[in-house]
Structure 1
Amino acid sequence: MDGKILQMDECRIVSFQRYLKHPVEKVWRAITSPEQIAKWLTAQAELDLHVDGKLAFRWENGDLVHGNFTKVDPPYGLEYTWLEQTSGHSIVRWSLKEEGDGCLLHLTHTFYGPAIVPDFLAGWHVHLDVLDIVLLEQFRQFPWERMKEIREKYASHFG
């Protein structure tokens, strides 16, 4: 499903909701395991998974995100700050809910700074697609061309 942008006061919120045909616990492990994160987010992750614990995501191109966990509620809720040079300070929230035979995942990324929102929409869109592929144990390689297509789509809608 496509992402949405919500405008609230002085922030913008990128929001995604996905139904995944996997148990909540399996999805939780995928979003909190450095080995799984390396596949679907394409970043090396260092996680101290408790409230006030630190996190870092490092991509091969040199991009770096630092943050702290503000909520760790296994296997249903995760929240952390996201600080990077280009977009400033933001907050990422994951909510997982059992639904039918699977999991309803809700992801929000709240921006207070100058983020290029279509880039984040495209990024989260494709990373969530790949998360499902990783959970299905069918991951081969990250679809960078798909990222370009989705970025163009969001840029034309939200430019």
Structure 2
Amino acid sequence: MDGKVLQMDGHRIVSFERFLKHPVEKVWRAISNPEQMSKWLTVNSEMELKVEGQLAFRWENGDVVEGKFTKIDPPYELEYTWLEQTSGYSLVRWRLKNEVGGCRLHLTHTFYESAVVPDFLAGWHVHLDVLDVVLNEQFTRFPWERVKEMRKKYASIMT
């Protein structure tokens, strides 16, 4: 459930794996549909869901991520570049696998430049928690305080 940091070819990779009690198709819609993403990722997104299609994520605090889709294999795999001012260029990859009673979600975020990894660990951790809440149709508000708690936890583990 907690995120891990892997090293490969000199790059750091934030990795999460979760079992979700929902069909792959439902999870796919949640990670690839702007309306769904606005709830769990707290982002206004514009997406052209095709290989080489552009994407833009805009948060209320002014942060912007731009990128393009590099792989789309509905409903099992989604991959896109992630370019933002603070962390530079990186790659996000979602993989979904059918399992009895739901699906296995595997998320990796590969950093090619320096990034504050504990921030990404905390952010993805809580956003994935909220994804499950949204899929269960129990969402009320995003738990920003939980992100701060998780950031402290991951920062203490990485020092």
- Per-residue CA deviations over 1:98-142 (Å, capped at 9, x if unaligned) read 011101000000001110000000000000000000000000000
CA distance in 2, matches of 1:9, 1:49: 29
Q: CA deviation at 1:150?
A: 0.6
CA distance in 1, matches of 2:32, 2:9: 31
**Inter-partner Cα distance in structure 2 for 1:158 and 1:145:** 20
1:126 and 2:119 aligned: no
**What is the match of residue 68 of structure 2?**
68
Answer yes or no: is 1:97 the counterpart of 2:109: no
Instruction: Indicate the residue corresponding to 2:139 in structure 1.
Output: 139
Matched residues in 1 for 2:20 and 2:132: separation? 7
Q: Which residue of 2 aligns with 1:56?
A: 56
Corresponding pairs, count: 159
Could you list the runs of 5+ residues in structure 2 that have no partner in the other structure?
none
Identity over aligned pairs, percent? 74
- TM-score where L is the length of structure 2: 0.99
| Secondary structure at 2:57 match in 1 | strand
Provide the C-alpha distance between the structure 1 equivalents of 2:87 and 2:145, rounded to a whole number of angstroms: 23
Q: In structure 2, what is the equivalent of residue 11 of structure 1?
A: 11
Aligned partners of 1:19, 1:110: CA distance in 2, in Å? 21
- Find the aligned partners of 1:14 and 1:114 in 2 and give their Cα distance: 13
The one-letter amino acid paired with 1:41 is L
Give 2:73's aligned amino acid.
D
1:144 and 1:61 map into 2 onto residues whose CA distance is: 13
**TM-score under structure 1 length normalisation:** 0.99
Which 4+ residue blocks in structure 1 deviate beyond 4 angstroms? none
Shift of 1:154: 0.2
